[in-house]
Amino acid sequence: MVVIRLRRHGAKKQPFYRIVVTDSRKPRESKAKETIGYYNPIQDPPEINIDLERAKYWMNKGAQASDTVRSLLNKVSNSGKQSDKQA
């Protein structure tokens, strides 16, 4: 099964995550099919950058998002809707 999950990068005590599409049977740090974004929790506010079109494409193909990635997708899509309302 294909999943969308976080892959950890960065130094000790300085996590930085890439949002990747990969096979669920592979380890967390294995080669990914595609990198669709990143998440930097160290910055204030945390920096989230996700290609929503590619995420939707993979989810339509049957990919399952992890709980954390699903939460990040909701934050990004909601922030986009709020900025549309303000404009």
What is the CATH number for 23?
3.30.1320.10
Say how many domains are in the chain.
1
Domain span at 76: 2-86
User: Which of 2, 5, 3, 80 has its CA nearest to residue 39?
Assistant: 5
Q: Which two tokens stand for residue 80?
A: 């986009």
Q: Which two tokens stand for residue 24?
A: 């669920």
Provide the pLDDT for residue 51.
Answer: 93
Q: Which amino acid is at 3?
A: V
Geometric angle at alpha carbon 54, from 38 and 56, rounded to 5°? 110
Provide the residue-wise pLDDT of the chain in tens; the chain has 87 residues: 999 999 999 999 999 999 999 998 888 777 889 999 999 999 989 999 999 999 999 999 999 999 999 999 999 988 776 555 555
pTM for this model (two decimals): 0.84
